[in-house]
Amino acid sequence: MNKTKRFLSTLIAGALLASIGFSAIMIDAVRVENLEKEVLNDSFIKAHTSLRVGRELETEAELNAAVAQDIDSLRRSERFSYADVLVEQDAGKRTLVYRVTPRLRLRKIDLIGFEKVKSKKIKTELGLNPGDYVDQALVAEKARSVQAWLREKSYSDAIVSSELIADGTTGDADLLLTIHEGSKLRVKKIRFGGERFLSDSRTERTKRFLKRVTPGVGRSQEPVEFFETRELRKVMNQKEAWGRWFGAYHPEKIDADRAALRAFYLNRGFLDVQVDEPEVLDLGGGALELFYRIHEGQSYRFGTLSFDGATLFEPAELQKQIRLGSGQVASRRAIDTAAASVTRHYGNRGHIHSYVEPVIQTDPATRTADVLFQVKEGPLATLNEIEIRGNEKTRDEVIRRELAVYPGELFHQEKVETSERRLKNLGYFESVTPTYVPATETNAYDLTFNVKEKAMGSFLVGAGVGSVQGLVGFAEISHGNFDMTQWPPIGDGQKVKVRAEVGTDGNDLEVSFVEPWFLDRKLALGVDLYHRSVGYYSSQYDLETLGGRVSLSKPLAPFVRGTLTYSLENFDVSGVSSSAATEIQAEAGVRSKSSVGFTVSRDTRDQVFFPTRGNRTSATAELSGGPLLGDTEIYLFKVRSTHFWPFFNDHVLSVKGEVRVVDSYGSGDVPIFDRLFLGGPNSIRGFAYRDVSPRSADAGSDEPIGGNSSYYGTIEYTVPLWDKIRGAAFYDIGAVNDSSFNFGTGGLNSSYGLGARFDLPMFPLRLDYALPHITDSANEGASPRWNFSLGYTF
């Protein structure tokens, strides 16, 4: 039973109870009505409901809550297709009536009609087993999922029907699934016919390109736009087969593909373009060819741009909003964007329900398009009430504190959009939809944010192999909408995570907690506790760390955040080899570290994982020891910046740079666990982890001991290869020097290579093959190496 039915059932029950008019509420009888007359054991109803004969409730609200809880319990049991409750009154007695439609217990599953697909795979995709409780609606939905799966597997004409045969005496049912697979079809080739295409031939493509860019060649006429066929294939949902894989024929995608091809041309100024139904040619053996005939018409540029119906703002002011000019390519996307900008201009000044309709008049003779923006000006409006609907778990105040709009203020479209974006970025909701309803007051509107919550808790168990950590197994429990003050602990927006890793070269246990609105302010409190045992830093010693960190983070400006951190850690350098370098042997033992740090960061990236544009820059200063006590007296500075540029066809160029300095200000040196190293999958990839470093002064020793200054840069270019898979080419360069604030090139090393990025759900994989280029004396003779790791890099 869906939420609407449950809500209405509770509402009806409440209304009936309210009409009775008593202060104390007594349940005189409880009855169960079976709407479909199927076999039903009433004891199951009693096991999942709390209201009993003789139970007395003090208020109607208490009864309504109990009824809602009972209905919810019946729904979660998945034993019923429908369940609601009502109250009957007869001669002063009140009877609580549960009305249900029970599901049937699945006795067996029979499959008929299939020939090529194995029954085991069909049953796996069906997702039902004997003993499950089902109804006709459920099995029909499962049959549709099997049909969709078959069509995805190239059986484009597959039809799957279901029949549920009930046994009225036992409450069981048999499922008969009829599968007609049809022919297995794949799209071997997609071709296009038109007047303005580049040939797929590289020679012809080069000729056309040279004609367009060479001075004095082909300049007597207006330049003609040419498009490569691969550009058109890229915007389509239907894809060509790749060997024996992919490319299943999807006739249901034809209309969407025609619209996508038409939009491709419209956005390039071909405002008269038409795309015919494709010709489907049978190549034999289940292979098909699709041929799309495209009538491009003329390519247009903007002529006059004018407004009609605008009285509140001058045309010159509206002209500034559209950012279009005569002579520019008459892109349909640009026209729609301009209309939306004018609409937002009105909305940001309180005029709700304003809209702009562009009217386009083309002239093939002059190849110009005149655009008239017809404006309908809405009334000036204020916000009356702001409601939140759909949040069953998340508390209202968690949502309201993210809003940029308030009751009583003038309507502001951009603030509403900002509020919507903030709610989506919380990660608590599948969807966020604002709606407006006129209030009783003149020119006032009630604003409602309709949200649909999603599951925020997760439990992950897995294993992986990294080029640094070796074989690693992990388990993680996390929740992104936690509430530590109530049970169940859900709904206050807190984040909690417990993660354990066990590997061949180290173990890790971490507990973290974040309160995003500490002291009811936009101030994030973070607490981390961790224990790490690491053996992959060096073969000559092991490092064990036990510590905790507390941080306070606050927005300082748009895209800018400041973070203050205090950490207390205990380091144990153990297992030191008798042949270890002198510098390593001096580090053996236990050492404490008390630190305070401050970080300022600015982040304008379009997305956190696999960004395509924007910048992330951070600067950190940290002090340890001195007035903070502890055995370690050092200071550290770090600056890091990464910028992303998007290019054609979803290509992305990124440039990353980092500078670090550490030094001691007390009597001791910088400890081994705070010295600086480079090399490995996250810095200079052509060298082993921590291998770019000054070496021990011991004669004959090649042990990296770290330095006090480091810098490195990376340039990387990634291209899409397939869905969720990107190829990468990169170049890394950097150095680590002994002394602080020494950024010389004496220890310079660099590498280049190719890689792949797999954006797999919960298991993002980075794979790189890097070759050394420039090497210092310590890394002469370094060999090419593979780097692979799980997770994202920042």
Confidence band, pLDDT 50/70/90 cuts, at residue 8: very low
For 403, half-sphere exposure in the C-beta direction (CA atoms, 13 angstrom radius) is 21
Q: Shortest CA distance to 200 belongs to which of 210, 214, 190, 212?
A: 190
Q: Which pLDDT tens digit goes with each residue over 574-617? A: 999 988 999 999 999 999 999 999 999 999 998 877 889 999 99
Task: Report the predicted TM-score, pTM, of the whole model to 2 decimal places.
Answer: 0.66
Arithmetic mean of pLDDT, 378-402: 91
CA–CA gap between residue 531 and residue 538 (Å, rounded): 19
* pLDDT tens per residue, range 167-187: 877 878 899 999 988 878 889
Q: How confident is the model at residue 1 (pLDDT cuts 50, 70, 90)?
A: very low
pLDDT > 70 fraction of the chain, expressed in percent and rounded: 90
In the prediction, which pLDDT does 24 show? 65
pLDDT value, residue 600 = 98
Residue matched to tokens 């604030």: 741
Whether residue 631 is predicted with pLDDT greater than 50 in this model: the reply is: yes
The pLDDT tens digits of the residues spanning 127-163 come to 898 988 888 889 999 999 998 888 877 787 788 999 9
Query: In this predicted model, which residue has the larger pLDDT, 4 or 677?
Result: 677
Phi–psi pair at 339, nearest 5 degrees: -60, -40
Take residue 81 and report the two structure tokens written for it.
Answer: 């297709």
DSSP 169-222: TTTEEEEEEEEE-----EEEEEEEE-SSEE-SSHHHHHHHHHHHHSTTSS-SS-
d(C-alpha 191, C-alpha 230), whole Å: 10
Mean pLDDT of 678-686: 93
Whether a cis peptide bond, with omega within 30° of 0, leads into 488 is yes
The confidence score (pLDDT) of residue 89 equals 77
Instruction: Decide if pLDDT at 552 tops 80.
Output: yes
- Residues shown for the chain: 794
Model pLDDT, residue 38: 60
Strands (E) across 541-679 are located at 542-557, 560-574, 589-603, 614-624, 634-646, 652-664
State the first-to-last Cα distance of the chain, in angstroms, to the nearest integer: 44
Q: What is the mean pLDDT of residues 375-394?
A: 91
Compute the mean pLDDT over every residue in the chain, rounded to the nearest whole number.
86
DSSP string across 528-560: EEEEEEE-SS-SS-EEEEEEEEEEEEEEEETTE
Give the side-chain half-sphere CA count within 13 A for 348: 12
With b meaning 16 or more CB within 10 Å and e meaning fewer, what string describes 300-313? bbbbebebeebeeb
